[in-house]
Structure 1
Amino acid sequence: MSEKISFIGAGIATSYTLIPLIEKLVMATKKVELFIIDKSDSFYSGVPYGKRSGETVLLINDLKNFIPLDDHRTRLKNWLDKNLDELLQTFVLKGGELSKAWILENKEDIYNGKWDDLYIPRFFFGRYIKQQVGNQIEKARKSAHITITEIKKEAINIDSTENGFTIKFTDNSALKSDKVVISTGSLPNKKLFDSSKKIAPTLKYINNLYLPSIDTNINNIVDILTSRNKKKLVTNILVLGANASGLEAIYRIFDQQPFKDSQNSFTCLSTHGTMPDGKINHNKLTEFNTINLNKLKNLEIITADQIAEAVNKDLDLAESLKLGAASTVGIISKGIGSLLPKLNEEQLIKFACNHGNQIGRRQRCAGIHYLSVVDHLVEEAKIEQVKGQFENLELQDDSFKLNYFSPEINVFKSLENFHIVINCLGSINLESEYIPELFKNLFDKNFASINDSKIGLKIDNHLQASKNIYVAGPMLAGNLIEDRALWHLEHCGRIIWSSEILANKIFNNI
């Protein structure tokens, strides 16, 4: 009798679990049925690297930092060299002037296979990983003991049975499974505005840049810009959040001719009122030292709070020297890494849940390709960056009004006259009333529980939320895996590493 294993979610974490798992299963003799479940058609590439993110946006990190694992990066680079012409042809066909400029600026490195320092188009990686998984699936299907079934449905519930589980879907169908892997990716965006409200055709609110896809939303924005330009109406675009998706929104819209055809502008609201950093100041870096982190190196016993306090003091010092995150992220990360082994298990988990992401928000970096667009907009006085915390969005007759809290003067303020609003403020947490139905049911039935990070599930040493319910990808945030504290699993390198461990855990439990 075969064992049934179901993956709920078919993104990058599932892909990097399937590749080594199938390799092991092919060499074994155990009969296994694998079910890969996803509500979208982005099987194996996930949202960031698949169709919903389009074929014109670039990685937020250079390739060596995107995939720091040398063996995995080498395989990707070899694949890029082999498929280069087809990839570049698609990039030019789908993109605008910025895509052509990227190829021209990096032509020598591209054709000489020097990929490590390049911010490559994201869909390059999406195509690569989809092909790698496809090769493994083909290998599995040629075996006599492995079957693989892809199911395009949304899973909303899991019930226990005498020997396993029953997964239930929105269409009232069900699937029996012995083991389940929760690999659903990031949680949904925060809801900032009631999208059901009727708004004028010259206005647009976008709650998620990637739903139904970034290309669909950009095309809608282009239509509104074109219509307003014809009526000689200036369009003010409000981007809520200065994270990766906020930068992508600005980058893609800037590359559209209707935006350039008029005095259209951006306003960006963020907690720090600044964009991520992208330029290393080598001269000023010589003046900087992590004096507060260094003090902790001589102590035998330290706490998570002490590390966090030292990091923030050192970052304050860096800011006083006008040093940005791109200059300091390496030395700060190295300092943290040298101190984490001093923490006991309880303190490691505390750092992962309470401090890691807060420090990360002060160390935001981005590629110069995105930031050069922002610099260009600054030169043309077409962008304003506002420091504050979002309060609400009001719909007026022919525009949106933003209400926000200004921490610097401790008052609520307003900005008016926005015509396109894009929500890039990030995801809800697991304590939100808007969490997906699947998670509500997991918690109600005690199949899973929330860890102190509020963005991850508690797991045991086998990466299980409960017996035979495994966790992969972003939902592993706020945990220790093989004594390594993980506070953020949106990073591809961490996903690859943790997914390979998960593959071993699953295989050994079959």
Structure 2
Amino acid sequence: MSGQSQPADITFIGSGIACTATLIQLFRKLLNTEQAGNTRPEITVIEKNREFWKGIPYGSRSSVNALTITCVNDFIYEAERPAFFRWFKENQNDWETYYREHGGITAERWLKNNLPLIAKNDWETVYIPRFIFGWYIHNTIAKLHRQIEEKQLAKINLIHAEAIDARVTGNKHYEVKLEHPDKSISYIISRKLVIATGSAVVKPVDEVNAAQVTYINDIYEPSVPLNIEKVKDALTQTDWVENRNVLIIGSNASSIELLYLLEGLPQVNGLINNLVLISPSGALPYHISTETLDEHPTPSLKALQNKGSYNLKTLVDAAAADLQPAIKNGANVAYIATVIGNTLKLMEALGDDAKKEFFGIHGMRLSNMFRRSGPEYKAGSQQLADVRKVSFIKGKFIQMQTRNEGVVLRYEEVSSGTEKTYPLTFKAVINCSGSDNLDRSASPLIYNLVHKKLAAMNLSGKGFEVNEHFEAAPNLYIMGPLLGGNMNKLIHFWHLENASRLMYLAPYLANELLKD
């Protein structure tokens, strides 16, 4: 059992951006009040990886060349921009030198294209390497942490372990079961518990014979650079060039990022005979259109409004129809915002149940229509396509079948519904298909929270149902992507992979955690 003499006041499970953004706000509030003594809270942070405060996207598990999906102005929450831009310029020599030394030809190309834009503060067109934001957020939390401890405003405990289970004690506290790197077990107790574990765990797609194929279930585990090296080794050890094929399952943001990274590694992409992506859409995210339109017509939504009689299904169908011209020549962000804004206005007449269903289910359906990425990502994937390295399958993955030379792909063709076998043998398979529902999660903690009924899934299946205080249960708080699919007075997002949105929500959660 726990060796604690007293329970922690607040415990965070996970130390990525959701936790870090919240603690930054919480520390700032403590420093503004400077009330030490009896009000000094004890805060515990549990992280299963050795690297605290950055999470997967902004730390060492990602690639130094990975970029933000949106431009800097959209990526950084408005209230945080002055501090970030000031730090960015003050530390430019450090991050620029580091990037030149570690980013290879991709970094050289990015610096050549973007340094002139940075000099002009043209933040609408710059997509920064994510490690730079990781440096900023780490620097910010470290500085505040030192100030908090110097002034004895809080006691901070960092634990390197994986939280695998939780239960409510007799006095309504939370007991968390921890598994340490050496597989030993310990327990901690906390009055308030914050689940900030990041995105739901990637779902495995199939069982594979490791002797026949290099299978990577999650490109970020243990890290992108190590996994790319595994792919390189698998291809190098394959004698027949015709069999040096790589299969990517899924065509989401991770997929286009991977293509961008591979394009900048000729020592790897030069080994690839063919790189095949399979997904139901059969296409990568759109590039972001810079076209300025005089108007953003929404005729289908307008027709519903004029009719005055509609339900959720007809509203969603109308929104989907009006999104088509908004993505005709790339994703026009302003046009998309008009369509979604008009959709939400019309939804006001449908009531709370319809709103909850929209945010839990239909919002992601519409969002998948306009998945987008910056110009560098699109250019990288296009470079591979131009040299006929990339093929796309519009299909649903069924299984991988083992052959002596590797594996072959069985899939269902979307257009016909027929099962087919793709006519290539693959030596490496990378799963970018996304996460499973929480009740099937490979995370022991998330699985146990659902099945022990400590927290309930919302309609999306990918997030927990919470109230406007972030609570999935009394004193059990959710922060980060697992908030996606909620609709209440404060939290109304169908997905929360966006750092800006998390920075927006962080002060509200900090207030809740500091309440008695």
Please report the TM-score for the alignment, with normalisation by the length of structure 2: 0.91
Residue of 398, 401, 414 corresponding to 2:405: 398
Classify the secondary structure of the residue corresponding to 1:446: coil
The residue that corresponds to 1:455 in the other structure is 462
The residue that corresponds to 1:193 in the other structure is 206
Q: What letter is aligned with 1:172?
A: I
The answer on whether the counterparts of 2:468 and 2:490 sit within 8 Å (CA) in structure 1 is no
Alpha-carbon separation, structure 1, partners of 2:150 and 2:418: 66
Q: What letter is aligned with 1:154?
A: E
Distance change (3 Å), C-alpha of 1:287 and 1:20: closer
Alpha-carbon separation, structure 1, partners of 2:410 and 2:431: 14
Q: What letter is aligned with 2:11?
A: S
The residue that corresponds to 2:339 in the other structure is 332
The answer on whether the counterparts of 1:55 and 1:90 sit within 8 Å (CA) in structure 2 is no
Compute the displacement of 1:427 (Å): 0.7
Distance change (3 Å), C-alpha of 1:18 and 1:298: farther
Compute the displacement of 1:156 (Å): 1.1
* 2:251 paired with 1:242: yes
The answer on whether the counterparts of 1:234 and 1:262 sit within 8 Å (CA) in structure 2 is no
* 2:29 paired with 1:24: yes
* 2:450 paired with 1:443: yes
Compute the displacement of 1:126 (Å): 0.9
Alpha-carbon separation, structure 1, partners of 2:119 and 2:312: 46
Residue of 309, 317, 341 corresponding to 2:317: 309
Alpha-carbon separation, structure 1, partners of 2:166 and 2:270: 52
Please report the TM-score for the alignment, with normalisation by the length of structure 1: 0.92
Q: Which runs of 5+ in 2 are unaligned?
A: 1-5
* 2:214 paired with 1:209: no
Classify the secondary structure of the residue corresponding to 1:253: helix
Alpha-carbon separation, structure 1, partners of 2:257 and 2:325: 30
- For residues 432-467 of structure 1, the C-alpha deviation after alignment (integer angstroms, 9 at most, x for no partner) is 2x4422123223433211111101111123211111
The answer on whether the counterparts of 2:484 and 2:496 sit within 8 Å (CA) in structure 1 is yes
Q: How does 1:43-192 map to 2 (within 5 A)?
A: 43-67=52-76, 69-163=77-171, 164-170=173-179, 171-192=184-205
The residue that corresponds to 2:298 in the other structure is 290
Compute the displacement of 1:148 (Å): 0.1
Distance change (3 Å), C-alpha of 1:88 and 1:147: same
Compute the displacement of 1:157 (Å): 1.4
Alpha-carbon separation, structure 2, partners of 1:261 and 1:291: 48
Alpha-carbon separation, structure 2, partners of 1:352 and 1:309: 15
Distance change (3 Å), C-alpha of 1:260 and 1:467: closer
Alpha-carbon separation, structure 1, partners of 2:86 and 2:199: 30
The residue that corresponds to 2:48 in the other structure is 39
The residue that corresponds to 1:10 in the other structure is 15
> Which moves more between the two structures, 340-349 or 407-416?
340-349
The answer on whether the counterparts of 1:429 and 1:435 sit within 8 Å (CA) in structure 2 is no
- For residues 57-109 of structure 1, the C-alpha deviation after alignment (integer angstroms, 9 at most, x for no partner) is 11121112223x32212321111111111111222222121211111112211
The residue that corresponds to 2:361 in the other structure is 354
> Which moves more between the two structures, 2-11 or 418-427?
2-11
Distance change (3 Å), C-alpha of 1:471 and 1:6: same
The answer on whether the counterparts of 1:77 and 1:113 sit within 8 Å (CA) in structure 2 is no
> Which moves more between the two structures, 310-319 or 245-254?
310-319
Alpha-carbon separation, structure 1, partners of 2:425 and 2:369: 30
The answer on whether the counterparts of 1:192 and 1:393 sit within 8 Å (CA) in structure 2 is no
Compute the displacement of 1:255 (Å): 1.7
The answer on whether the counterparts of 1:266 and 1:383 sit within 8 Å (CA) in structure 2 is yes
The answer on whether the counterparts of 1:45 and 1:130 sit within 8 Å (CA) in structure 2 is yes
Compute the displacement of 1:492 (Å): 1.3
The residue that corresponds to 1:485 in the other structure is 492
Q: Which runs of 5+ in 1 are unaligned?
A: none
- For residues 380-402 of structure 1, the C-alpha deviation after alignment (integer angstroms, 9 at most, x for no partner) is 12211111111111221112211
Q: Aligned residues, how many?
A: 500
Residue of 195, 218, 221 corresponding to 2:231: 221
Instruction: Name the % identity.
Output: 30
The answer on whether the counterparts of 1:31 and 1:145 sit within 8 Å (CA) in structure 2 is yes
Q: What letter is aligned with 2:104?
A: G
Q: What letter is aligned with 1:213?
A: S
The residue that corresponds to 1:384 in the other structure is 391
Alpha-carbon separation, structure 1, partners of 2:195 and 2:247: 35
Distance change (3 Å), C-alpha of 1:287 and 1:158: closer
Alpha-carbon separation, structure 2, partners of 1:288 and 1:71: 29
Alpha-carbon separation, structure 2, partners of 1:48 and 1:483: 26
Q: RMSD of the alignment, in Å? A: 2.3
Alpha-carbon separation, structure 2, partners of 1:386 and 1:233: 19
Classify the secondary structure of the residue corresponding to 2:425: strand
Classify the secondary structure of the residue corresponding to 1:209: coil
The answer on whether the counterparts of 1:62 and 1:116 sit within 8 Å (CA) in structure 2 is yes
